[in-house]
Structure 1
Amino acid sequence: MGELRDGVPDPQRVVDMAEFVEALGELRAWAGMPSYRSLAKSAGARLRPAREVSATTVVDVFRTGRRRLDLDLVVAVVRALGVDEPGVERWRAACVRVHGLAKVGGPAGVFGQLPADLGTFTGRTEELARLVEAATRSREDGAANTVVISAIEGMAGVGKTRLAVHAAHQLVRAGRFGDVQLHANLRGFDAELPPTEPSAVLEAFLRQLGVPVQQIPAGRDERAAMFRDRLQGRHALILLDNAADEDQVRDLVPAAPTCLVLVTSRRSLAALDNVSPHQLGVFTEAESLELLARIAGAERIAAEPDAAARITEYCGQLPLAVSLAAARLRSRPAWPLRHLADRLHDGRLTAISFGNRALRPVFQLSYQELDEPLRRIFRLLGHHPGPDTTPDLTAALAEISADEAEDALERLQDEHLLTQPTPGRYELHDLLRLLAAELAAAEPEPDPAAPLARLTGWCVNTGYAAAVAIRTPNLTGMAPEQAADAPHFVFYDDALTWFDREQHNLAAVQQAAATAGFHRPVWQLAEAQKHFFIIRRHLDDFLTAQRLALKAAHADDDPKTEAVLLNGLGGVHWMAGRLDESEECCLQAQRLYRALGDKEGEASALIAQGVVQNHRGHLQHAEDLQTSALALLTSPDTVRLRAAALLNRAVVHKSQPGRRPEAIADVHEALEIFRQVGDRQNEAYALGNLADFHQLNADLDTALSFYEAQRSLAHDLADAYIEAEALRGTGDIHAAAHRPSEARAAWTAALALYEKIDHPKAAEARDRLEAAS
């Protein structure tokens, strides 16, 4: 079975009633999976005389374990499924033939009930190998000699059934489990019918195993015992598809170690004794494209590779979604692939359908199985704009405790509505995220804006706490009382790690807050992250955050914050080498500060402008700007900015040998201030500048000691750029002292760090290494 005639499943190779029923199911799939209700109506009209047929009667035609079928009804159903008359005659003949076999007990000694192995089965090489290895593993490892149970678990539409069927056929073809193959659809998630009772499945299995009806016990426990007895010593494969839970499966498992049970479920079956879970994820892009080509035609896919890639992307690499899209293409030969890609882009869940089959109802079945509190959590995840979530983030969204949130996320993972790629972090598949957003819109919270507001507030407060822990200077407008409910970061590394893990969520939340018009949190999020961005040299992210923040401050009519953000934006442009943009930002900030009468702010703008002028080579102008800033910084609470002006004025004098003594004095004064106020990053910069000055004065040993101190501090700060600068300087010292191997080692380490942050100075490190080779 499984061969096709002109694309239509061919019944002529079925060997018994079970295979005939499975072939009918495949024919229904070929026809686009019309509902049983519509099929009953259409088949009833084709009977002679026409009569009303119930959906339940049609369901029975497709139910495994049947001994007899109504021939006229089968023919009417086949016609209703769109088979031409020659094909109908083949189905009629096959139905008559398998009825004859049933009268004499079927094919001798073999009970083969496996569904057809589709010719479009694609990919899953590693997953298939793991299943086969688990089924055939030697028991010489001391493990208990028991039945092998493999549970294939995953989200709706991920291809669990197809993998299980394919693995079963591969094992049988290899000569394994040749005595008995039994199959049951347990209907754990069915839109039209309730889950199958285990007792009914046991009855059907016992009939297939040759037990006369009158000898089958009435009770479930007795039937389970007889089932285990009949399979004792036999090489049997039992395929249990679409299980609702462990209880539905438990009594359908034989005891003999010669048996294999393959179970598929959307729900975790980890509590089942002796089970080996096999988590099934979505396809790779290559697998999705292969499936698309197998169904829609390889030449067609090859003609429009970009559109084909878009189709699989919009399908989220979900096998069911890809197969539905491919079936739509197959039925629309005039459509260019780009047409379907555009439809999927605009419609997504609605557009992923073919005939009577659609993706949304498949997903909604999983959602509807949840209790209401868990449904609410799933809907609220539709408000979260970031790529993943944590218990803390979810707790903020739902206004519950972190423990409650973690329990809910774990339960959603057990339902395979979430994945947990790393401990403590949970992800929604793109298409499930769309469903969550749709459900959130359809069943909104009492205040629809509240979930995002709560999430944004939590991100601001936690970001503030983390920024304080990494000693972010000038957290303008973010008073400590705003962060009263935020986590407390004891260690610098913990705070920096939090930013590393949450940077994509923070970016998404900031963008969502900007779209929602939450102006203040938008710029607060930018302020909280600014020092992190500098440490990690995430300049593009820094630029995006600052631009969003500047628009928000302007919209909020907050000139003080606008000036602060302009200064920060100028710093981003300076670090990226865009001096014109940097200077314009500094001048705008200076004008705003003057209008506000804010001398400290004006000084900060002058310092930043002086840095730009120094890089332009306008040394006297740069010195004047730093000196002007110092004249404004007379208050005791401005010492940190005063130290910054001193350090930057000293840098101006590097190329002026006669000014170096006063420059070194300025750096030492700045270094002492930075240490007093706990500004460790600028302390590291000051150490590097002292090293540079002593190197210029040919005091190599002193210079080397300052570079080593700078490197140690930068390493503690996890600041790759400053550490690379220290290593670059260390290499220069070793080269000047004629220690070439030490110089190469330092430059090599510096190069690795420059490359890690994709810094242009990597080219200088390579030049040094090439010159030294």
Structure 2
Amino acid sequence: MEFATLLHRYRKATGLTQEKLAGKAGVSVAAIGALERGVRRFPRSETVNALAYAMGLTADERKAFAESARRQTVPAIRPSAESAAPPVPRQLPLPDPSFTGRTADLATLQTALTSGTGVAIIAITGMGGAGKTTIAVKAAHAVAAEYPDGQAYLDLHGYGPDPLSPLEALNYLLRAFGLSGADVPVQVDEAAARLRSQLAGRRALILLDNARDAAQVEALLPGTGRSAVLITSRHELAGMPTAQVLRLGLLSAAEGLDLLRATVGATRVDRELEAAQEIVEACGLLPLALKISAGRLATRLQWPLTHLAGLLRDERRRLDQLEDQELGVRASFDVSIDDLAAGGSDREQRAAAAFALFGVPDGPDLTVEVAARLLDCDEHVATDALEDLCNLHLVESLAPRRYRLHDLLRVYARERAQASIGPAEQAAAVNRVLDLYASAAWQSTELGFPRSGRLPWYRAQPPIVNGGPKYDDMGSALSWLDGQRHHLLALTSQAVRMGGVPAMAILRLVIGLHPFYATRGHWLDCLRIERTALEVAAEDPRGEAHVRSDLGLVLYDLARAGAGHPDDSIAELHRSRELFESVDDLVGEALALANLSHVLDLNGDYQQAIDAGEQSLTIYRKLDDGPGQAIAYINIGNSQGKLRRTQAQRSAYDEAIAISTRYDAQHHLGIALLGSGVAYQLAGDFEMSLDHLHQATTKFEALSDQLSLAEALDELGLTYRLSGNLESSITHLDKALTISTHYDDGQRHYLILTHLADSLEASGDHTTAAERRTQATDITKGRG
């Protein structure tokens, strides 16, 4: 009698489950399962003895048990070809009755399985819980009639503690297709060749589930004929170029709702559709999570869907709610990470350890630079870790050097971080990323505003030890920060909440970021991050003064857009000046006065603006700060012009242009030329206006100051229209509109649309002009 039969009979007689027998014998559950299925026919003697002892077999039973485990030396008598037809295996598991959606993926699989003229090899890859096995079984059943010579199913246990070896898998498949006893070779190469021979004249389907890698399945593939192999794996199965790969993603929101309806009932789901949508979102559109949630609701008929939605709302307990014994979402993710951690290479173990750290920072995704700072390593090592995790579908590659964790994987990574990484180490990791962002911010300031009034404060702080890449120009640094925009506020807020991150690291980042926000017009982001910084600013009055000075500018720009009152802005600027005075910081005091002059001018308080501008000019002269004097002259010129003091305005702008040129202060020069160009435009001198505005545009383009560039292009478009050149007017206004669509200060976008509508109307394009006016009207409605 075969070992598999005896093992099953003795175990049942003793009343032991496979799990209980595994615990008593010290043998894995997977191994016992493989032995009972006959996948492993000849276990080692120590395994046989351990099982016999655990089951309490008698001496005669132990003897028979041991003999059945020995290899036979005499070939078994085989039935002749005439006496028995080759077996036709029908081993596919039952399809999941709740399967829904995946229409395109299922069609792709069915086409791949039925349209070829040779051997078809299809690999389904994806993250744990994506439903790879479910769709594979569904597709296999759908095409079963196309494979009359049988459908074999084999779980390779690629991610368990005891994965099947190629020889064990070959043994199982050969027996499924008619071989037995000594006909089954005991060498991999021989067994693989025999399987290819067995399948050459047949049209059979083999479903290999949970493959670890290409090496585990290469020997199991047919060589000729019209059979097919369907493989599921969490890995990408690199090294199998002949396989067609279906990368299984997440469900759509509509498919997620349909899955709930299929299990919970359409009436119940549609009655609480909003709660159902929240459940789908909390499950991250992951089929396994949705099936567990649907199963809980199906067995708890008295639960409203709002109750489960509320349970899932707490991110800290979300994975607890998505557990179903050993089949939970957490358990599924554990398999992938634990398997990686148990890998034989240092690289695999580093990737497993990195996963937890990648869950620490708040933010939607990770760039290589950020990953390297989290891990405190070079970018090559960080890239290796990200790619290894990507191969297991634990992270997703969004674009070159950019990766993302699925929502539930982020929750899971954070859980692992809380369990394995101490608070101090987590804070240190966040601090390193803050320094990375701060380095880019301050590099942009030093490259574009080398005499900025905030630089003395920065240079008085301890230097950033490792700030990542070095940039050659302001535009490159700002462009990188553009890609990090949504992380900046999230990480700063996290740093304030978590504790352990030095306040100075937070202030250094926030104060350094203001020029970035000012050149982009992201005022709401700027408002939030600066208010967050004020929570930790009290221990550094100079730092607090800088934050309040910047905040004053932000509040005014928002007030102009209808969000807030100008008095709040002016109050912050006065408070900033007082703080600078209290620490005898003349540079800061001059900066606060210059900002105050700018805001008072915009507020219509022109003489007060001139007074504040002259006070800042006096301090800048005392400091021998040429670029500072240029800014003061620009502010004075703006207000003089609005008081119709044309000569004083012209004189102030000319001074600003001359000083900025002498000190090579390119941004100051661009602002001075912009103000001067507008003044010439209002005076009707279009030739000088166009000359100065074009020069300003060139400066802002070189510095990547998108907000000022849009303003200069808008004024160019207006000047060209006033001078009668409608074609150039529309060209420049279109450019301004494109920029302001992405970088908007709350006011300029509206003005550009209005000016463009005027130029289009004048050119005879009434249809497009009307569209632009409607867009401008929509902006004013949006402001309420």
Query: After the TM superposition, which of the residue ranges 522-531 and 763-772 deviates more from structure 2?
Result: 763-772
Matches within 5 A, 1:579-598: 579-598=566-585
Superposed CA offset, 1:680-702 (max 9, x none): 33332222211111112211122
Q: How big is the shift at 1:313?
A: 1.9
Residues 1:622 and 2:609 aligned together? yes
Assess if the C-alpha contact under 8 Å between 1:610 and 1:621 holds in 2.
Answer: yes
For residue 320 of structure 2, give the secondary structure of its aligned residue in structure 1: coil
Q: Percent identity?
A: 32
Cα distance in 1 for residues equivalent to 2:665 and 2:378: 35
**C-alpha separation between the residues in 2 aligned to 1:680 and 1:375?**
48
C-alpha distance in 2, partners of 1:392/1:726? 34
| 1:764 matched to 2:751 | yes
Amino acid at match of 1:711: T
> 1:528/1:594 Cα in 2 relative to 1: closer, same or farther (>3 Å)?
closer
Match of 2:297 among 326, 329, 336: 329
> Residue 255 of structure 1 aligns to a residue in which SS?
coil
Decide whether aligned partners of structure 1 residues 333 and 594 sit closer, same or farther in structure 2, where only a CA change above 3 A counts. Answer: same
Shift of 1:136: 5.3
* Alpha-carbon distance between aligned partners in 2 of 1:341 and 1:61, rounded to the nearest angstrom: 43
Q: Counterpart of 1:369 in structure 2: which amino acid?
A: D
1:489 aligns with 2:475: no
Q: How is 1:328-407 mapped onto 2 (pairs within 5 angstroms)?
A: 328-346=296-314, 347-354=317-324, 357-371=327-341, 372-407=349-384
> What TM-score does the superposition give when structure 1 sets the normalisation length?
0.81
Q: Which moved more, 1:209-218 or 1:458-467?
A: 458-467
- Asked if structure 1 preserves the Cα contact closer than 8 Å seen for 2:444 and 2:475, the reply is no
- Deviation per CA, 1:118-160, whole angstroms, max 9, x where unpaired? 2322222333344345445668xxxxxx633222111111111
Query: Which residue does the alignment assign to 1:512?
Result: 494
- Alpha carbons 2:711, 2:748 under 8 Å: kept: no
Query: Does the 8 A contact of 1:586 with 1:605 survive in 2?
Result: yes
1:308/1:105 CA distance change after superposition, 3 Å: farther
Q: Are the aligned partners of 2:449 and 2:665 in contact in 1 as well (CA < 8 Å)?
A: yes
Which of 714, 720, 726 is 2:700 aligned to?
714
- Distance, in Å, in 1 between the alignment partners of 2:685 and 2:225 is 79
Q: Tell me, in whole angstroms, the C-alpha distance in 1 between the residues paired with 2:31 and 2:233.
A: 27
Tell me the CA shift for residue 455 of structure 1. 3.4
Per-residue deviation, 1:650: 0.4
Tell me how far apart the structure 1 counterparts of residues 109 and 445 of structure 2 sit (CA, whole Å): 48
Identify the match of residue 418 of structure 1 among 379, 392, 395.
395
- Structure 1 residues 478, 331: closer, same or farther in 2, change over 3 A? same
Cα separation, partners in 2 of 1:224 and 1:637, compared to 1, 3 Å: farther
Q: Is residue 674–residue 696 contact of structure 2 (8 Å, CA) maintained in 1?
A: yes
Inter-partner Cα distance in structure 1 for 2:205 and 2:330: 33
Following the alignment from structure 2 to structure 1, what is the Cα–Cα distance between the partners of residues 752 and 424?
Answer: 56
Q: Deviations over 1:189-246 (max 9, x none)?
A: 23xx621232232222222222344422222221111110111143332211101222
Out of 726-735 and 643-652, give the one that drifted further: 726-735
Could you tell me which of 683, 687, 693 is aligned with 1:701? Answer: 687
| Equivalent residue number for residue 155 of structure 1 | 127
* 1:442 equivalent among 412, 419, 437: 419
Match of 1:432 in 2: 409
Residues 327 and 354 of structure 1 are in contact (CA less than 8 Å); yes or no, is this contact kept in structure 2?
no
Q: Is the 8 Å Cα contact of residues 389 and 425 (structure 1) preserved in structure 2?
A: yes
- The CA deviation at 1:320 is 0.3
Distance 1:676 1:319 in 2: 66
Q: CA deviation at 1:674?
A: 3.2
Hey, what does 1:94 align to over in structure 2?
A: none
Q: Which of 489-498 and 353-362 deviates more? A: 353-362
In 1, Cα distance between equivalents of 2:438 and 2:753: 41
The 3 A distance-change label for structure 1 pair 439 and 40 is: closer
Which among 189, 195, 202 is matched to residue 159 of structure 2?
189
**Aligned-pair distance for 1:761?**
3.1
Q: 3-state DSSP class of the match of 1:477?
A: helix
Query: How far has the Cα of 1:718 moved from its partner?
Result: 3.3
Change (3 A) 1:599 1:568: same
Q: 2-side partners of 1:316 and 1:183: how far apart?
A: 30
Q: Is the 8 A contact 1:465 1:483 kept in 2?
A: no
Q: 1:475 aligns with which of 444, 448, 455?
A: 455
2:533 maps to amino acid? A
In the alignment, structure 1 residue 126 sits paired with structure 2 residue 104: yes
**1:684·1:714 contact (CA, 8 Å) conserved in 2?**
yes
Letter in 1 for 2:401: G
8 Å contact from structure 2 (residues 365, 404) kept in 1: yes
Matched AA of 1:698: G
1:478 alignment partner AA? Y
Residue by residue over 1:291-330, the C-alpha shift from the partner in whole angstroms, topping out at 9 and shown as x without a partner, is: 1221111222211222112212221211101110110011
Aligned residue in 1 for 2:651: 665
Q: Structure 1 stretch 157-166 or stretch 255-264: which is displaced more?
A: 255-264
Query: Structure 2: any 5+ residue segments left out of the alignment?
Result: 1-14, 22-27, 42-81, 342-348, 767-784
Change (3 A) 1:516 1:475: farther
Which residue is 1:613 aligned to? 600
Change (3 A) 1:215 1:425: same
1:451 shift after superposition: 2.8
Partners of 1:452 and 1:359 lie apart in 2 by: 27
Unaligned runs of at least 5 residues, structure 1 = 1-35, 43-53, 68-103, 140-145
Per-residue CA distance 1:527-570 (angstroms, 9 max, x = gap): 2211111112111111111112222111xx21111111110001
Task: Give, in whole Å, the separation in 2 of the partners of 1:616 and 1:66.
Answer: 84
Matched, 1:644 2:644: no
Partner of 1:655: 642
Match of 1:278, SS state, is: strand
1:499 aligns with 2:481: yes
1:620: Cα distance to partner? 1.6
State the distance in 2 between where 1:381 and 1:259 align: 43
- The Cα offsets for residues 441-485 of structure 1, whole Å up to 9 and x where unpaired, read as 222359534333333334433443344344473235322971353
Change (3 A) 1:64 1:320: farther
Alignment root-mean-square deviation, CA: 3.1
Shift of residue 756, structure 1, vs aligned partner: 2.8
Equivalent-residue separation in structure 1 for 2:620 and 2:705 (angstroms): 29
With over 3 angstroms needed to count, the CA separation of the structure-2 counterparts of 1:209 and 1:398, relative to structure 1, is same
CA distance in 1, matches of 2:571, 2:279: 44
* Partner residue in 1 for 2:9: none
Deviations 1:721-768 (A, max 9, x none): 323222322222232223334434433433333333343333333333
1:18-37 to structure 2, matched below 5 A, reads none
| One-letter amino acid of the structure 1 residue matched with residue 324 of structure 2 | F
Q: Which digits, 9 at most, give the CA deviation of each residue in 1:138-187, with x for residues without a partner?
A: 68xxxxxx6332221111111111122223233446xx444332221111
The 8 Å contact of residues 122 and 287 in structure 1, kept in 2 or not, is answered as yes
Distance 2:86 2:178 in 1: 11
Distance 1:751 1:444, change over 3 A: closer
Q: How far does residue 423 in structure 1 lie from its aligned partner after superposition?
A: 1.1
Which residue number corresponds to residue 550 of structure 2? 568
Please state how far the C-alpha of 1:360 moved relative to its aligned partner: 1.4
Q: What pairs with 1:3-14 in structure 2 (closer than 5 Å)?
A: none
1:534/1:170 CA distance change after superposition, 3 Å: farther
Q: Cα distance 1:445–1:769, how it changes in 2: closer, same or farther (>3 A)?
A: closer
On the 8 A contact 2:534/2:544 being kept in 1, the answer is yes
Query: Which residue pairs with 2:511 in the alignment?
Result: 527
| Conservation of the 8 A alpha-carbon contact between 1:476 and 1:561 | no
Describe the shift of the 1:718–1:326 C-alpha distance in structure 2 as closer, same or farther (beyond 3 A): same
User: How has the CA–CA distance of structure 1 residues 363 and 38 changed in structure 2, closer, same or farther, with 3 Å as cutoff?
Assistant: farther
Q: Is the 8 A contact 1:153 1:279 kept in 2?
A: yes
